[in-house]
Structure 1
Amino acid sequence: MNRRVLTLGTGAVALAAFGFGYWLYPHGELAGPAVTGQDDTYVRPHSPVIGKADARVTLVEFFDPSCEACRAFHPILGQILARHPEDVRLVLRYAPFHQGSDEAVRILEAARLQGRFEQVLDALFARQPEWAAHGAPNLAAAWRIAGVAGLDIERARKDGRQPQVDRVLQADTADLQSLQVRQTPTFFVNTRPLLSFGPRQLYELILSELDAPR
């Protein structure tokens, strides 16, 4: 089957995600180390990485947990990782533009310390409409959702206030400013920006990097 067929499917999934919600995707490997050989502005040592350490393509996403478009792209990225498990890895960077998103980042970072980052990220996206109303986020609901996903809330509330989480927020905010990230999600593929926004365009940019000479 031609791998470019996925470019048609992702477009349909994006529309469906906006209209009908969220599908869980197969989980990859959550790695700790940063991507080697990449500009630190794109990838920091603290950045969550899903995929193989030696993947040929590094997909960097600046995302906001409160962002509806980020929620829509979430299963699409899972499809891409599932389609290219050896060759594509996803690096997640925080862009907490919306009110309350910095607290959601603290939840995610606390979840990472408990080894439940992906489960909590999935849950926050899956139930995003329950907590992420713009201008009036229900962060108590976000914490409850994380607890249902398996997070130890008492421990997480302490961990989320650790200085290291402050440093993560500071570093990612500085990098999104340096890279002139103005909206979420914003994607870079091997540091190449996605100039024409859309799931098909993103997948074609990834394929162009996969097809490039080694």
Structure 2
Amino acid sequence: MQNKKLVFGSLLAILVLFIGFTFFYQNEQKSEQTAKVEDVNSLLVRDYSFRMGDNTKNISVVEFLDPECESCAIYSQVVKKLYREYYKDIQIVVKYLDNHKNSRLTIQMLEAARVQGKYEDVLNMMFEKHPLWASHYSSVDKPELLWQFLKEIPSLDIEKLKEDMKNPKIDEIIAQDRKDAETLGVRGTPTLYVNGVLLERLSDKALFDLVEKEIYK
């Protein structure tokens, strides 16, 4: 119960910060999106990128995220809502931008969990438990708690996950995604694109409007 109260209280507090971040996001992304890229989609969707959705309408919603990012944790609720409503039409694609102290560790966990088909479970856990292990608002820095939370995921083999985390291909993925972000002028997370078009405002309506424009065009 105490943990639930802490999660709720922390999320409520950082909601105010998120509103401020949204304003910053609009201006920052407009100024940073200066790179001349001939084929944006080739940078956004790589062969190795995690993706989900039936994608019958050939619509890619690409998100640069950082599992340690508080704004990513909050906005994940919007992305989940979008996926629930349009999973048949679209695909969600994940790209990484490791901007925080423990970002690389969390990405290694995610990619190792992916081998066991537990990627979504682990990402959801990281975002839902975020205030307990990585709240920047409350100066929480307890990545070691992630190991405890991982044990709560059914059928996840922790020992195998630890071994798979050592795969050097994960570092290659992180490096390539950062290179792609730099080419596109992306510096912060979450940053989203819909079929190569930058989402200029982090809101429920803005994302749904952009996706629905592609679905019904």
SS of equivalent residue, structure 1 residue 139: coil
TM-score normalised to the size of structure 1? 0.77
**Do the aligned residues in 1 keep the contact of 2:55 with 2:88 (CA within 8 Å)?**
no
**Do the aligned residues in 1 keep the contact of 2:71 with 2:189 (CA within 8 Å)?**
yes
Residues 128-139 of structure 1 aligned to structure 2 (within 5 Å)? 128-134=130-136, 137-139=141-143
Whether 2:150 is the aligned partner of 1:146: answer yes
1:66: how far off?
A: 1.1
Could you tell me which of 157, 165, 169 is aligned with 1:164?
169
Deviation per CA, 1:52-90: give whole Å up to 9, x if none. Answer: 144431100001111111111212212111212221210
Distance 1:115 1:197 in 2: 29
Deviation per CA, 1:34-62: give whole Å up to 9, x if none. Answer: xxx97321011111101014443110000
Aligned letter for 1:137?
A: D
Could you tell me which of 189, 195, 209 is aligned with 1:190?
195
Deviation per CA, 1:106-146: give whole Å up to 9, x if none. Answer: 00001001111111111111111111144763221112212
Q: How many residues align?
A: 182
Distance 1:72 1:111 in 2: 22
User: More helix by proportion, 1 or 2?
Assistant: 2
Q: Which has the higher contact order (CA 8 A, sep 6+)?
A: 2
Distance 1:20 1:56 in 2: 38
1:196: how far off?
A: 2.6
| Greater displacement, 108-117 / 74-83 | 74-83
Aligned letter for 1:41?
A: L
**Do the aligned residues in 2 keep the contact of 1:107 with 1:146 (CA within 8 Å)?**
no
Could you tell me which of 206, 211, 215 is aligned with 1:210?
215
Identify the residue that residue 174 of structure 1 maps to in structure 2. Answer: 179
Quote the RMSD (CA, aligned, Å).
Answer: 2.3
| Greater displacement, 122-131 / 46-55 | 46-55
Identify the residue that residue 87 of structure 2 maps to in structure 1. Answer: 85
Distance 1:73 1:108 in 2: 18
Identify the residue that residue 77 of structure 2 maps to in structure 1. Answer: 75
Structure 1 residue runs of 4 or more that deviate by more than 6 Å after TM superposition: none
Could you tell me which of 33, 42, 50 is aligned with 1:48?
50
1:205: how far off?
A: 0.9
Identify the residue that residue 24 of structure 1 maps to in structure 2. Answer: none
Distance 2:77 2:134 in 1: 19
| Structure 1, unpaired ranges of 5+ | 1-15, 22-36
**Do the aligned residues in 1 keep the contact of 2:10 with 2:135 (CA within 8 Å)?**
no
| Structure 2, unpaired ranges of 5+ | 1-8, 15-38
Distance 1:195 1:38 in 2: 16
Q: What is the aligned-residue identity percentage?
A: 30
Distance 1:113 1:191 in 2: 28
Distance 2:146 2:98 in 1: 15
Residues 19-30 of structure 1 aligned to structure 2 (within 5 Å)? 19=12
| Greater displacement, 146-155 / 203-212 | 146-155
Instruction: Summarize the Cα distance change of 1:55–1:145 in structure 2 as closer, same or farther, 3 Å threshold.
Output: farther
Instruction: Summarize the Cα distance change of 1:76–1:136 in structure 2 as closer, same or farther, 3 Å threshold.
Output: closer
